[in-house]
Structure 1
């Protein structure tokens, strides 16, 4: 099979450029194997990272045909099939492979990126079990299978950077720690061996740099090669925060709790109340109320301000579902 590889090449001081290589490959060959062949047979100056070649170390993460993944995990045949489906190509057409460096990180050379910010953000959540209260344990810190199961997903993370590369929140807010760090934060919150749970929760909920900075775009889940599902782990940290806070704690907490309560009451969100209760803190935040005035006036002028509220037909069913979930959560706690 004759395949074209368009590789985005770049150095720190130069603009990126696309360089094309041609290879006769077997469909079972991985993208990493193809990069090795290009480097060994055609261009020894091509730069990229690799190590284990077996989806363990996470070194060879890069953007392959528009998505961040591991070059040692993806093979040519599967990528061609995926591109044919996306672009509606026939079985005879062989699309080109486009290889680029990961996003949200500066490029050092070609497919090699500077991951210092990535590692700094991980370090910021202090992802190490603290047992200062039990410095000299009488026995090992054993866990039940149920306690260990809570850590399984985040424990699978190989820190490849794929989720960070695709994160919209990092793109718009460089201070957001990233899904990889918050997935590790979930482990710290749920690890019963750790003695800093409350301190960690206070840290992880700070502004838009912590869990509330997540835009819930789902990209991290879709590209994670190890099925860590970082978005789900962030949701678990949020739930730990919400279970400990009332609506006066912060606007982020109020937003979540108010949304659920309004849906429970009416089957969907009463827009007349939502802004006042969340931004205005139930009329306790005068500055917040005044900030809503321009938007409210524009809505009135455009005829888009709802003067009344009609509950949905399934309100009782929605209320029953929410109450059932709350009962289950209370039992688990």
Structure 2
């Protein structure tokens, strides 16, 4: 069948433009197969990364029709079918190929992954140094302990999750879902001796887990089912359960939200601000920072002074407590 490939081409610090190539392909051909043919038969100047062609190395990640994926894993037939489900039948199907997001373009489909690797290094994705000292005997793990590392160990560092991360797009300090998925591997590794230090680090500001916007894109595009968002949530649970981790606005936000909904069925905004931002008058700097906005809301009638609990509060409280008991949170 005939397929049109629209490739976003770009040189460093130059505007992007789409270039069109047409190929006769089989439904089972991968996108990488087609890119190879374009380069070998039509345009030798086209730049893209590749290596293993077996969905192991992660080199050929790019945006295929708007979503980050591995070119060696996606095939033409399934991609055309997906487009037809969205747009209906077309005379000649078109497949758009673009470089990964959240990273500057070097050329065409090749991006500079320097920030990707630096953010990974920031979470110290290796067993703590004290645990690496030569022991009297080797570090042994039970099958159960080892099984906790399987899912995060599947990560091939392709950059798909980093490319789609909304939090990374607006916050350059956020380390990204790939780094935090690897971070959870360290937190749950029975051989690591720096768990509390790690949790304190991942709890800081919006650099770590609290910078995640929970958009779910990282899970949806991961080609290896690492589910980075799930791993980020697990780190949050570890932080909340660990009494040694210093208190912070994100921690108070999460705990305060749940407690206030348990009390009244929905959020008592004045009490929520006082509890989360002001830490019940213990964080005067936080209160001063939010005071101007509070006055504006009060003047415009958007800051309720009276709180009316919702109907069904008892049922809501019962549901929350059931979930907490099941998770062992009390």
Common fold by TM > 0.5: yes
- Mapped to 1, the partners of 2:106 and 2:312 lie a distance apart of 55
Find the aligned partners of 1:4 and 1:256 in 2 and give their Cα distance: 48
Partner Cα distance (2:92, 2:142) in 1:
51
Q: Is the 8 A contact 1:248 1:254 kept in 2?
A: no
Distance of 2:61 and 2:124 partners within structure 1: 24
Distance in 1, Cα, partners of 2:197 & 2:246: 19
Q: If the length of structure 1 is used for normalisation, what is the TM-score?
A: 0.92
Q: 2:55 aligned with 1:55, yes or no?
A: yes
Asked if 1:289 is matched to 2:282, the reply is: no
Mapped to 2, the partners of 1:239 and 1:160 lie a distance apart of 27
Which aligned pairs between 1:244-283 and structure 2 lie closer than 5 A? 244-245=242-243, 249-283=247-281
Q: Tell me if structure 2 keeps the 8 A contact 1:129–1:193.
A: yes
Given that residues 2 and 93 in structure 2 are in contact (C-alpha distance below 8 angstroms), is that contact kept between their aligned partners in structure 1? no
Contact 2:184/2:231 (<8 A) preserved: yes
Which deviates the most, 56-65 or 268-277? Answer: 268-277
**Using the alignment, how far apart are the partners of 2:44 and 2:305 within structure 1?**
69
Counterpart position of 2:166: 168
Q: Counterpart of 2:296?
A: 298
Q: Which residue of 2 is the match for residue 16 of structure 1?
A: 16
Question: Relative to 1, partners in 2 of residues 1:253 and 1:62: Cα closer, same or farther, differing over 3 Å?
Answer: same
Instruction: Structure 2: state its 5+ residue gaps.
Output: none
> Is the 1:246–1:253 contact (alpha carbons within 8 Å) kept by the matching residues of 2?
no
User: Residues of 1 paired with 2:131 and 2:17: CA distance?
Assistant: 55
Distance 2:322 2:144 in 1: 22
Moved more, 23-32 or 284-293: 284-293
**CA–CA distance in structure 1, aligned partners of residues 297 and 218 of structure 2:** 35
Whole-Å Cα distance in 2 between the matches of residues 324 and 191 of structure 1?
29
Taking structure 1 as reference, are residues 133 and 55 closer, same or farther at Cα in structure 2, changes over 3 Å only?
closer
Query: How far does residue 206 in structure 1 lie from its aligned partner after superposition?
Result: 1.5
Report the alpha carbon displacement of residue 27 of structure 1 after superposing the two structures with TM.
Answer: 1.3
Give the counterpart of 1:97 among 92, 95, 98.
95
User: In the alignment, what sits opposite 1:190?
Assistant: 188
Residue deviations 1:158-187, cap 9 Å, x none?
100001111111111212111100100001
The range that moved more, 131-140 or 181-190, is 131-140
Q: How many residues align?
A: 330
What are the within-5 Å matches in structure 2 for residues 32-181 of structure 1?
32-87=32-87, 89-90=88-89, 93-130=91-128, 132-133=130-131, 135-181=133-179
Q: What CA distance in whole angstroms lies between the structure 1 residues aligned with 2:244 and 2:269?
A: 21
State the superposition RMSD in angstroms. Answer: 2.1
Return closer, same or farther for 1:323/1:279 CA change in 2, 3 Å cut-off: same
User: Does residue 227 in structure 1 map to residue 225 in structure 2?
Assistant: yes
Give the deviation of 1:48 after TM superposition.
0.5
For 2:38 and 2:18, locate their aligned partners in 1 and report how far apart those are by CA, in whole Å. Answer: 14
**Which sections of structure 1, spanning at least 5 residues, go unmatched?**
none
Residues 111-167 of structure 1: CA deviation (Å, up to 9, x unaligned): 111111111111111111126257333443232333223222211111000011111
> TM-score with structure 2 length normalisation?
0.93
**Aligned-partner SS, 1:98:** strand
CA shift, 1:93, in A, is 4.2
Report SS of the residue matched to 1:11: coil
Asked if the contact 1:176/1:208 (under 8 Å) is kept, the reply is yes
